[in-house]
Amino acid sequence: MEASGKKPTDSLPGKANEMTKTSGKRKSTLIFACSGLSNTGKLTMQAASALAFRRPDLYRAAAAHKGVDAVEDALSDGLNILVLDGCSDRCATKKLEEGGLKADVYMMVTELGIEKTMPSDVKLEYVEKIVRAIKEA
């Protein structure tokens, strides 16, 4: 923490707005992201990581390919679980179901109007679109 008493994340865009909206009562969320090799898979982890970095008090990120241990830990900590799939393959959802777990919210990047294309088609505007959708979920 800086000498002024502010956290380094206090100056990030949307910080003040989110604080008044949540008023300290919002439950934290684990974003269980597909993290696949396509552009939509890559976007899931980038958006999840962006939120976890910007608001570590509200969001955690976990990559589905690493298994469900992070989800089990989050559930024991009382967090909501949001599954973020990149496309209709639903890799993150399937991984969660294999572990016998369910999410509170399911979201798919392609349903946000982002087309699954080349792995290199990862744009900041897409990341921010996903971030906004997660915040509204």
Q: Is residue 118 part of a domain?
A: yes
Rounded Cα distance, 19 and 40, in Å: 29
Q: Is residue 7 part of a domain?
A: no
What is the number of structural domains in the chain? 1
Q: Is residue 8 part of a domain?
A: no
CATH number of the domain enclosing 99? 3.40.50
pLDDT tens digits along 98-121: 999 999 999 999 999 999 998 888
Region 27-36 average pLDDT: 94
Q: Is residue 49 part of a domain?
A: yes
Q: Taking the model in full, what pTM does it have?
A: 0.79
Looking at per-residue confidence, does 123 or 4 come out higher? 123
Cβ neighbours, 10 Å, residue 13: 9
Range of the domain at 125: 26-136
Region 54-83 average pLDDT: 94
Q: Is residue 20 part of a domain?
A: no
DSSP 8-state symbol, 5: S
Taking the alpha carbons at both ends of the chain, their separation in whole angstroms is 30
pLDDT band at 2 (very low <50, low <70, confident <90, very high): very low
Q: Is residue 75 part of a domain?
A: yes
